Each structure stands twice: as structure tokens, then as C-alpha cells.
């Protein structure tokens, strides 16, 4: 029956929820059934007829419910549907096991269970054909065995509301030794394949974004603080730091520029529309003032397939950077 095809049928999920709710509560009302069908966009007359056994051809009816009283129904067989893993989900689980970060977020017993899952009768994805190109040329990716304890102590400190003392080396190699900070959140950059930690400094009353692999000598520090208050201060900090005007770029859909643009700005709030008269896509990028230099570098990475239309100071910055690059190139390679 096509309606139960794996990874295709929303009706299966709707019927699973109907059966499990009826099993859990003993009965299920007609309204609850309609609400579930609507939730999964399955509220079509033909499907309702099959569930309530109203179809003239009895082979097309689904005999899982029987009328009870006051527009309620009970299960004909009093059992629930246990969750199961589809072939598509197995393929996905096998794929993520190839990630170097699998051990960061899954314990060893879970990883072993996934490895024992029966592989579908399809060719697996060969991860060796996927060649990463966006990783930072300045910072090499840290060994996962070194990164793991740092991530775990930061995440544990967030959960347990602990203060941390650490030494941090910035991108320009400036060292901040014995820094005290309260971890607020952990972020991941798809572009650089790196983890970042947001710290609040009780001393300077401000926030800093640190590359986790550049954090050393990290350890818990004694001290009390109101985490909820710090999170409120963080939201106020972000609100005040938000740029009043988005950066607007027009992307020509050539050489995969559009896909690259969405990938490069995947971590930013944005909106997009198609400009039919120009045959271009307009992307509005909303950002914080402290992210301006990062956005400019990503725009430059996209090259001539992207035009910045607003704001003017960003246009002037990029034009100046391009002129400097051309001048350096001309001076170095003049014949």
C-alpha cells in the first residue's frame, strides 16, 4: 500500500499517533482524530472514510478503531506501535557516524547500537569523495581527542552554572592568561568547521566569542552568580549591538554562487527574494556590529558574482579592499 511507503507517508505518522494516544488513554475522541489528521495534513475525506470504516469497499477500510460512546473510539487490538527506524534514517545514522564529532555528542553504547543496525540494500555514501574547502586557512582543525575535554567542561559548566578560569590565544596570537569567564553558549561554524564559546566577563561586564581550540588551561573556578540575570544581560547586549541596517547583496546565479552565498551566511538571520528584472537574487543579511569584518571577508570570498547594494559604508569598504588587492597584484606582477 503506497500510503505506508517509508519516509514518504505522513499518514503513517498520523495513524501511529492516533493508535498510541488511544492506547495510552483507553479511548480517543473524534475531534482528537480530526486534529491529528489536520496536524499531518491528512484530513482528506478519502482518508477519514478509511479510518472510520465508512468506505463502500471494505478492503479499503482500516480496521484499527471501533466506536465506543459519545463520539469516542477504542482500539480493536489493544496495543501500541513501537517506534522503528526507516532505511533512510539508517543511512543517515551511518553517515553521521563518519563525522569526527560523533563521539562528542553520543556515548559509546549509543554508537555501538547504531553500528549494529542492519544496513539497507543500497550503496553507502563514500565520505572520501567529499572534499572540504571552506575550512580556515589560518587555524588548523584541532585533534578531536584534544577538543573533546574542552567542549565537555564548557557544556558542563553551562549546565551546572560554573565559572571557568582559562587562557585564551586570539587570532592575532595575543595571549589572555588566567581569564575568568562565565560560559553562556556554544556555537558551531559550518564555514570553518570550528566550535566557539560565548563567555561573559564579570570583571569587564561584557561578552567575548572565543575559538574553543584556542582555549587552554581551562578549569572550574569558585564563585556564585545569577545565570538568569546574565542571560538577560546577554540579550540586551545583542539587542544593542544589532546593526540598524542589513547588508543587502545581489547574487548572480552563476558558478553556484547562490548556493555558496546561502552556505556562507547560513549562521546569519537573512531574507531573500528573486529580482526577475535583473535575473538575480537579493539577500538581506541581518547582523551584529561586531560581525561586520567577518561578513565583509565572506562577501569578498564570493568574488565577482556578488554585488553589495547597501549600506554605502560597506560598499566603500569592499571597493577599497579590492583596489588595494589590485594595486598589490599589479606592483608584484608587472612585466
The DSSP call for residue 4 is: G
Report the SS3 class of residue 120: coil
What's the pLDDT at 335?
A: 43
User: What number is the average pLDDT over the span 119-124?
Assistant: 66
Taking the C-alpha atoms of residue 201 and residue 217, their distance in angstroms, rounded to an integer, is 17
User: What number is the average pLDDT over the span 31-40?
Assistant: 89
pLDDT in tens, 160-215: 878 888 999 987 788 989 888 888 888 887 667 788 888 888 878 787 888 888 89
Average pLDDT, the chain: 81
Taking the C-alpha atoms of residue 116 and residue 129, their distance in angstroms, rounded to an integer, is 24
Q: Are the C-beta atoms of residues 105 and 49 closer than 8 Å to each other? A: no
Taking the C-alpha atoms of residue 86 and residue 285, their distance in angstroms, rounded to an integer, is 37
Q: What is the pTM assigned to this prediction?
A: 0.54
Q: Are the C-beta atoms of residues 230 and 184 closer than 8 Å to each other? A: yes
What's the pLDDT at 29?
A: 92
Confidence tier at 1 by pLDDT (50, 70, 90): very low
E strand or H helix at 196, and its extent?
Answer: strand 194-201
Give CA separation, 28 vs 37, 46, 66, 77, 312, in Å. 13, 20, 10, 14, 61
User: What number is the average pLDDT over the span 268-284?
Assistant: 87
User: What number is the average pLDDT over the span 279-286?
Assistant: 90
Length of the chain in residues, anyone?
A: 335
pLDDT in tens, 286-330: 988 888 888 888 888 888 888 999 989 988 888 888 888 888 777
What's the pLDDT at 285?
A: 92
Confidence tier at 331 by pLDDT (50, 70, 90): low
Specify the residue for cell string 531573500. Answer: 272
Set of cell numbers at residue 325: 588587492
Amino acid at each position: 500500500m503506497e500510503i505506508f511507503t517509508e519516509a514518504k507517508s505522513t499518514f503513517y505518522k498520523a495513524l501511529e499517533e492516533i493508535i498510541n494516544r488511544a492506547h495510552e488513554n483507553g479511548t480517543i475522541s473524534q475531534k482528537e482524530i480530526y486534529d491529528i489528521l489536520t496536524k499531518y495534513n491528512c484530513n482528506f475525506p478519502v482518508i477519514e472514510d478509511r479510518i472510520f470504516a465508512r468506505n463502500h469497499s471494505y478492503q479499503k477500510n482500516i480496521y484499527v478503531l471501533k466506536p465506543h460512546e459519545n463520539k469516542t473510539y477504542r482500539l480493536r487490538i489493544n496495543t501500541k506501535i513501537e517506534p522503528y527506524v526507516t532505511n533512510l534514517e539508517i543511512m543517515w545514522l551511518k553517515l553521521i557516524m563518519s563525522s569526527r564529532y560523533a563521539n562528542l555528542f553520543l556515548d559509546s553504547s549509543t554508537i555501538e547500537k547504531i553500528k549494529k543496525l542492519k544496513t539497507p540494500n543500497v550503496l553507502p555514501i563514500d565520505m572520501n569523495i567529499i572534499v572540504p574547502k571552506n575550512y580556515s586557512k589560518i587555524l588548523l582543525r584541532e585533534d578531536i581527542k584534544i577538543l573533546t575535554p574542552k567542549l565537555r567542561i564548557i557544556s558542563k559548566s553551562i549546565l551546572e552554572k560554573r565559572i571557568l578560569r582559562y587562557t585564551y590565544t586570539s587570532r592575532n596570537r595575543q595571549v589572555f592568561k588566567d581569564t575568568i569567564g562565565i560560559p553562556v553558549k556554544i556555537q558551531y561554524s559550518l564555514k570553518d568547521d570550528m566550535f566557539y564559546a560565548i563567555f561573559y566577563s564579570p570583571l569587564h561586564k561584557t561578552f567575548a566569542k572565543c575559538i574553543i581550540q584556542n582555549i587552554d588551561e581551562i578549569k572550574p573556578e569558585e564563585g556564585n552568580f545569577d545565570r538568569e540575570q546574565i542571560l538577560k544581560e546577554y540579550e540586551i547586549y545583542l539587542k544593542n549591538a544589532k546593526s540598524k541596517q542589513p547588508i543587502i547583496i545581489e547574487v548572480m546565479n552563476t558558478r553556484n554562487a547562490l548556493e555558496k552565498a546561502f552556505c556562507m551566511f547560513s549562521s546569519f538571520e537573512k531574507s531573500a527574494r528573486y529580482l526577475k528584472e535583473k535575473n538575480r537574487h537579493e539577500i538581506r543579511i541581518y547582523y551584529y556590529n561586531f560581525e561586520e569584518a567577518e561578513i565583509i571577508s565572506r562577501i569578498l570570498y564570493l568574488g565577482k558574482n556578488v554585488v553589495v547594494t547597501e549600506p554605502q559604508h560597506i560598499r566603500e569598504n569592499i571597493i577599497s579592499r579590492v583596489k588595494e588587492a589590485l594595486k598589490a597584484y599589479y606592483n608584484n606582477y608587472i612585466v
